[in-house]
Amino acid sequence: MRNSVLCLLLWLQPAMCSGAWTFAELNYSPGNDIFDSGIAWRPQGDYALIVYNGASSDGLIRYEYPAGTLQAQAFAGKTLYRIAWAPDGSYALLTGGTRLYRYEHSAIGFGTMTEVSSIQKAAPADVVTFYDMVWDPAHPQNPAYITTNYQSGSSHFVRIYRYQQGLLPNDASYEFTGGTTYAYSWAYSPVSAAFQADGDYLVIAEKGYLEGFYVYDPDQSTFPKNPNGTMQSFTRTGSVGNADAIAMSSIPGNRVVLLKGNGIVQRAVQTGIPASFALSDAGGPSMTDYEGDIAFSYDGTRAVAVDGQIWTPYHQIGVFDAAGSGSTVNVTGITQRTIRIRVVAWHPAAPMGLMGGEDGWLIRFDTDTVPTPTPAASPTATQTPTPVFTPTATQTPTRTPTATAASTPTPAPVPASTATGTIVLVAAMSWLAVHLRRNRNNRASR
């Protein structure tokens, strides 16, 4: 009987641990795309900015929290792709090819955006292509790190830049302490970066040549430079190709890397000092597209991975714990459009977040698998989308107010799967109690 009970409880465990996930469609605007790393929450959690690429101009969508309202503004003449907020929430950085921009926070509406023109180069003809932006969590006051492809003549390098207004010799200057790779004839694509929680090192996903990740260690204590002075690198193995996105948990001491590519998400676990990484498949759904994203929750306990493939009958996301073990969750309760989800970003202090993709598709997710901190803004899970706002693809910045009658979402019903799991669990415990009582009675009668 003990074996039967054990099997029953193990069978129940996945349903008990997966928790409830609800999804709500917020926006759908054909002709305006949202790409990977194109959503960023202000650290204070009052709103998120979403980069959209329109037919005639790029711009930003602002999502208010917890109201759930949307507004948008085109920024004519700007090339926008990725966005990241400074730790104090006073400004955000945006990249778009060879352009780097600074966006100033505004309490309402949209702030000003200016191009950063003071960029260090070894020669005027050199070309810098900007990718992802991160800050050291242990020293958030220090200049931002920006991953780039640096081209000098026919040679390309992954080079790390630092950004801060007034930084010498330029506002954007390159790092001199080993933040480069060896020269190559093809362009690198260092598309995604993440810091280890204690600020020990930076991991950089690269999908143009390496199809793996580089490790930049500022003080060389954990991952020293190669003998030729370049960063150490680790190539994906097993069931993953390419390297779309990379993430690390914010839990202090955690040293597990999640690498999203084509196929199963991989985990890389740090081993030893001087260190290396052991790579293996992390589980979750097989992701077949070269576009996508992965991001951890504010407390570092859960990560969500999205993929650009067109799922049927349901879109799927990969959900991972801090140790890198993954599972699959179906995206239900929304219109199952045959378009792609490319980006995900968690709220900085609540168990919810946003996903975005093709045709301006914007989806809100809520979950009970991540605790709500105290004090914190109250999440408002909903199955009813907030008013849809369609960004206008014009050369003139526009703003359209949303309807106020539906600005506050209503609480979501508990998903049927969760209710069913509770019923099954209660029945199982009742069955277990009855059989244990019978077993004691049988022993007593002997």
Domain shared by 3 and 60, yes or no:
no
Domain shared by 94 and 5, yes or no:
no
The whole-angstrom separation of Cα 399 and Cα 75 is: 11
Please give the C-alpha separations between residue 207 and each of 54, 172, 250, 307, 421, in angstroms, as whole numbers: 25, 24, 24, 15, 41
Backbone angles phi, psi at 431, to 5 degrees: -60, -40
Domain shared by 10 and 34, yes or no:
no
Structure tokens at 55: 């037919």
Residue 441 pairs with which residues in a beta bridge? none
Domain shared by 223 and 365, yes or no:
yes
Do 192 and 205 form a contact (C-beta atoms < 8 A)? yes
pTM score, two decimals? 0.81
Residue among 245, 235, 339 at smallest CA distance from 295: 245
Domain shared by 306 and 442, yes or no:
no
Domain shared by 425 and 405, yes or no:
no
CATH at 301: 2.130.10.10
Domain shared by 33 and 16, yes or no:
no
The whole-angstrom separation of Cα 114 and Cα 382 is: 36
For the chain, the helix, strand and coil percentages under 3-state DSSP, each to the nearest 5: 10, 40, 50
Domain shared by 123 and 225, yes or no:
yes
Structure tokens at 7: 């099997």
Please give the C-alpha separations between residue 361 and each of 171, 191, 251, 271, in angstroms, as whole numbers: 35, 22, 31, 40
3-state secondary structure of 425: helix
Residue 345 pairs with which residues in a beta bridge? 354
Domain shared by 10 and 129, yes or no:
no
**Which range of residues forms the domain containing residue 359?**
22-415
Domain count, the chain: 2
The whole-angstrom separation of Cα 143 and Cα 165 is: 9
Domain shared by 79 and 189, yes or no:
yes
Element (H, E) at 269: strand 256-271
Domain shared by 396 and 431, yes or no:
no
The whole-angstrom separation of Cα 281 and Cα 292 is: 17
Q: Is the backbone of residue 89 left (phi > 0), alpha (psi -120 to 50) or beta?
A: left
Domain shared by 340 and 357, yes or no:
yes
The whole-angstrom separation of Cα 96 and Cα 92 is: 13
pLDDT in tens, the chain (446 residues): 433 333 333 333 333 345 899 999 999 988 899 988 899 999 999 999 999 999 889 999 999 999 999 999 999 999 999 999 999 999 999 999 999 999 999 999 999 999 999 999 999 999 999 999 999 999 999 999 999 999 999 999 999 999 999 988 999 999 866 678 888 889 999 999 999 999 999 999 998 888 899 999 999 999 999 998 899 999 987 667 789 999 999 999 999 999 998 888 999 999 998 999 999 999 898 888 878 999 999 999 999 999 988 888 889 999 999 999 999 999 999 988 888 999 999 999 999 999 999 999 999 999 999 988 764 443 333 333 343 444 443 333 333 333 333 333 333 333 333 333 433 333 444 444 444 444 444 444 44
Crossing angle for the helix pair 416-445 and 2-18, to the nearest 10 degrees: 160
